[in-house]
C-alpha cells in the first residue's frame, strides 16, 4: 500500500518513514528541504534497505499539490508532518506560519477528499493544552488560548480537519498530539538536525557536550516542582514514529470509532530538565556544563500525558526509556560531528 508522508525528511517524518517501510508500506515523501537535508534519504535506505520515492515539492504552490495528487491517486493514506515549528520564529513572523501551516493543510485536504481512500494522520501537539489545570493531561482537557502563532496553527489545523470530517463521512482522520519527541534511531543513521541554534533541550545538551555550544542555560530553577526545573513528557522518536503506523492501520482497517479521533502521544511520565541532564551524564559518562538562569517567557511549569486512551483504544504504548533516548541522541551527535 502506498502512503504519502509530507515533511518526510524531517526529524519525526524520517523515523516514521523507516517504520512504515519496515511494515511493508510503499512510501512517497514530499519535502521542500527548507528545514531538512537530502542526506536523510540515504540514512533511511541504510536502515531499511529500500529508498523511498522522493519528490521535492513546496506545498504552498497549489498547482503543484494538484499535479502530485493527479499522479498518485492510489494512496492508502497521508501522514502530514510538513510545517514550520519554531515558536520564537512564529511570534516574529506569524503570517509565514499561517500561510505555510494552515494554507498547505487546506490544499492537502482539498485533494485528499477527491481520492477513493481518504485516510489522514495529522501531526499535532500538546501545545494546544497550554498550562493544563490538571495533570496528567487527558484528551478531554480544554484547549487553551495558544501561546504562539505556531501553537495556534496546530489548534486551527485540528479545527479544519474536524470541520471537514463533519461534512465528509468518507474522510477518516486522526490527530496525534505529541508531547516532547527526543532521541534518534539506534543505528545513528538518522536523528534530529536542528538548523542554527537548537530550540529544543536535547540537541542543545548534545551540542554542549560535544563542544559546539559553550554552556547550556537551564531556564528557571524556582518552579514549584521537586527540583525547581520545568517538567515535560519526553518521548523517544522511534516510539512516536511507531504510533503513526498503528494509527494509519487503524484507519485502513476501519477500526476507528468515529471519522475524527484525537490521541495524546507521550510516556505518561514527566521528567524535569535536571533529570534529563542527569540521564545524559549517566549514559555518556560526560559532565555537562550548564547554568540555571532566569525563567523564559511562555514556558509552562509541567506537562505530561495521560496515555490510557492511546494504550487501550489505539493499542500503542512506549517501549523505550529516557536513558535510551539520551544514549541514541548522543551517538547521533557524535556521528554527525565525526
Distance CA 109, CA 162 (A): 11
The CA-CA-CA angle for residues 325, 153, 199, to 5°, reads: 40
> Could you tell me if residue 110 is left (phi over 0), alpha (psi between -120 and 50 degrees) or otherwise beta?
alpha
Distance CA 170, CA 119 (A): 9
Q: Which residues are marked as active site?
A: 150
> Of how many residues is the chain composed?
338
Distance CA 135, CA 130 (A): 12
The CA-CA-CA angle for residues 136, 137, 143, to 5°, reads: 155
Instruction: Compute CA 266 distance to the chain's CA centroid, rounded to the nearest angstrom.
Output: 11
Distance CA 40, CA 209 (A): 23
Distance CA 136, CA 19 (A): 28
Amino acid at each position: 500500500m502506498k502512503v504519502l508522508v509530507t515533511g518526510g525528511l524531517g526529524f519525526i517524518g524520517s523515523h516514521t518513514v523507516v517504520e512504515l517501510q519496515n511494515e511493508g508500506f510503499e512510501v512517497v515523501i514530499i519535502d521542500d528541504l527548507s528545514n531538512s537535508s537530502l542526506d536523510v534519504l540515504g540514512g533511511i535506505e541504510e536502515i531499511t534497505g529500500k529508498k523511498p520515492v522522493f519528490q521535492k515539492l513546496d506545498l504552498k504552490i497549489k498547482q503543484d499539490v494538484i499535479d502530485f495528487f493527479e499522479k498518485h491517486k492510489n494512496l492508502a493514506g497521508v501522514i502530514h508532518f510538513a510545517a514550520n515549528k519554531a515558536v520564537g520564529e512564529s511570534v516574529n513572523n506569524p503570517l509565514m506560519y499561517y500561510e505555510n501551516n494552515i494554507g498547505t493543510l487546506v490544499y492537502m485536504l482539498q485533494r485528499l477528499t477527491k481520492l477513493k481512500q481518504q485516510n489522514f494522520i495529522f501531526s499535532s501537539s500538546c501545545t494546544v493544552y497550554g498550562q493544563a489545570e490538571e495533570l496528567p493531561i487527558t484528551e478531554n482537557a480544554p484547549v487553551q488560548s495558544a501561546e504562539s502563532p505556531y501553537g495556534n496553527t496546530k489548534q486551527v489545523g485540528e479545527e479544519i480537519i474536524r470541520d471537514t470530517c463533519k461534512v465528509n463521512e468518507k474522510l477518516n482522520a486522526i490527530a496525534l498530539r505529541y508531547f516532547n519527541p527526543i532521541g534518534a534511531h539506534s543505528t545513528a543513521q538518522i536523528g534530529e538536525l536542528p538548523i542554527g541554534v537548537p530550540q529544543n533541550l536535547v540537541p542543545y545538551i548534545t551540542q554542549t557536550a560535544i563542544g559546539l555550544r559553550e554552556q547550556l542555560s537551564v531556564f528557571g530553577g524556582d518552579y514549584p516542582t521537586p527540583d525547581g526545573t520545568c517538567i515535560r513528557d519526553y518521548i523517544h522518536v522511534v516510539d512516536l514514529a511507531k504510533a503513526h503506523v498503528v494509527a494509519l492501520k487503524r484507519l485502513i482497517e476501519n477500526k476507528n470509532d468515529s471519522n475524527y479521533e484525537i490521541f495524546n502521544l507521550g510516556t505518561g511520565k514527566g521528567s524535569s530538565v535536571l533529570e534529563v541532564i542527569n540521564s545524559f551524564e549517566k549514559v555518556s559518562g560526560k559532565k555537562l556544563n550548564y547554568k540555571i538562569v532566569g525563567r523564559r517567557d511562555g514556558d509552562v511549569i509541567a506537562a505530561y500525558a495521560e496515555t490510557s486512551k492511546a494504550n487501550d483504544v489505539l493499542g500503542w504504548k512506549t517501549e523505550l526509556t529516557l536513558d535510551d533516548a539520551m544514549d541514541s541522541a548522543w551517538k547521533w551527535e557524535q556521528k554527525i560531528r565525526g
